[in-house]
Structure 1
Amino acid sequence: MTVSIETLVVGPLENNAYLLTDTTGHHVLVDAADEADRLLEWIGGRRIDTIVTTHRHRDHIGALARMAAATGAALRAGAPDVAAIASRTGVEPTGVWDGDAVAVGADRLEVIGLVGHTPGSIALVAPTEPAATLLTGDSLFPGGVGRTTSPADFDSLHRDVTTKLFARFGDEVRVLPGHGAPTTLGAERPHLDEWRVRGW
């Protein structure tokens, strides 16, 4: 079983919202970031089962409350970020973390916790062909890991993406970040030591 992935860029910071669909027509929205009207037009009449938020930053949750009300979808987010999301949006996702999964019909999106950009940032592993796809929020981009605000946070994020993503998945795995263009683990893997040395 595989899922298909569509992308819509929304908001002034050009956030990527992703719509994942399984072969039986079930849908998961990843990051209801901004511009709820555009998101609803994009979705059309498709029923959203779940909205997943990759982390608590304001540019990733701007349309969450409206999308939750409009769709009736279940809400999921990294457990350490749930309280902050609830306080900023008025809606409270169910917390998920390593070992959990989000259903897309009969398929599953594996949850991977990545600490550093925020305490509760998550990536999702989507079953796509010919290889899996990682939806990494703001934890991994082309050219480096996401922004951190202390050396300890950088060390944590670099360690997590190294051990939980690069050490586990092959070069062919696609990376869909929270902003900007896709990449692959193969394109980024040669630069891991460079990122560690520069500290960002």
Structure 2
Amino acid sequence: MTYSGVVKVGGPADVHELTDLMISKVAVGPMDNNSYLLRCRATGEQLLIDAANDAPTLLQLIGADSIGAVVTTHRHGDHWQALAEVVAATGARTYAGRYDAEAIPVPTDVPVEDGDVVRVGRVELTARHLVGHTPGSIALVYDDPHGHPHVFTGDCLFPGGVGNTHQDPVAFASLLGDVEAKLFAVLPDETWVYPGHGKDTTLGAERPHLPEWRARGW
């Protein structure tokens, strides 16, 4: 089946099958968060991005092969409500941006800096530190050697704009600047964007609107 990226709370996961990586997207409530299970096709190793909520749903998605790591994209509580339970059940190592780690109640085993590589099996994800939605938000970029890049943006980039900066012009300028410099400036239009809530998009779909976002201030 063709991947659409459209999921709903209580519904099935949608699976994006790439040559080296399988990406399973599931929605969990009550904030309609997206969680992503990444599986290396060569080794079977798995990694979860954002144990947001509903641990039973996430553990069912993970299955008997378990996971080696959980990456939390940022400190906001709706992105780690199931983290403690998932870690207790799987023994997974925890990763989070260095500047958000202290605000996440589950201890972070690996504080992540900008440019660090996070591995799942033979697949490498590059962390990009995007400041503004929170001080330590991270995105994860998979530069697929067989196709276009894929980026997991947490709450930093959505269809139609960057993440909420609570009408703080300094935070907004920082977030938009980082998103422009670290994503739009270096990745092609075909780059697939997997956000922390809602539908997916591509950088090409959003790129023409960057001046509009800057002008409106959110």
TM-score range, shorter chain: over 0.9
Alignment counterpart, residue 158 of structure 1, candidates 161, 165, 176 = 176
User: Is structure 2 residue 46 aligned with structure 1 residue 30?
Assistant: no
Alignment counterpart, residue 13 of structure 1, candidates 2, 13, 31 = 31
User: Is structure 2 residue 200 aligned with structure 1 residue 182?
Assistant: yes
- Equivalent residue of 1:155, what SS? helix
Whose helix fraction is larger, Structure 1's or Structure 2's? 1
Structure 1 residue 11 displacement after superposition: 1.3
1:90–1:185 CA distance, 2 compared to 1 (3 A): closer
**Matched residues in 2 for 1:124 and 1:92: separation?**
17
Map of 1:117 onto structure 2: 133
% identical equivalent positions = 54
- Equivalent residue of 1:48, what SS? coil
User: Is structure 2 residue 110 aligned with structure 1 residue 94?
Assistant: yes
**Matched residues in 2 for 1:175 and 1:92: separation?**
25
Deviations along 1:138-193, whole A, 9 cap, x unmatched?
A: 00000000000211000000000000000000000000000000000000000000
The residue type equivalent to 1:177 in the other structure is P
The residue type equivalent to 1:104 in the other structure is V
Map of 1:143 onto structure 2: 160
8 Å CA contact 1:7–1:17 kept in 2: the answer is: yes
**Matched residues in 2 for 1:91 and 1:164: separation?**
27
Alignment: residue pair count: 197
8 Å CA contact 2:176–2:214 kept in 1: the answer is: yes
Structure 1 residue 76 displacement after superposition: 0.3
1:194–1:63 CA distance, 2 compared to 1 (3 A): same
Alpha-carbon RMSD across the aligned residues, in angstroms, is 1.1
TM score, norm. by length of structure 2: 0.88
8 Å CA contact 2:51–2:70 kept in 1: the answer is: yes
- Equivalent residue of 1:123, what SS? strand
Structure 1 residue 37 displacement after superposition: 1.0
**Matched residues in 2 for 1:190 and 1:97: separation?**
29
8 Å CA contact 2:97–2:111 kept in 1: the answer is: yes
8 Å CA contact 2:101–2:107 kept in 1: the answer is: no
**Matched residues in 2 for 1:76 and 1:44: separation?**
21
Structure 1 residue 93 displacement after superposition: 3.8
**Matched residues in 1 for 2:49 and 2:147: separation?**
21
Structure 1 residue 90 displacement after superposition: 3.7
TM score, norm. by length of structure 1: 0.95
**Matched residues in 1 for 2:102 and 2:85: separation?**
18
The residue type equivalent to 2:103 in the other structure is A
**Matched residues in 2 for 1:11 and 1:194: separation?**
31
Structure 1 residue 42 displacement after superposition: 1.6
Map of 2:84 onto structure 1: 65
Map of 2:9 onto structure 1: none
Deviations along 1:92-123, whole A, 9 cap, x unmatched?
A: 34210212011111221110000000000000
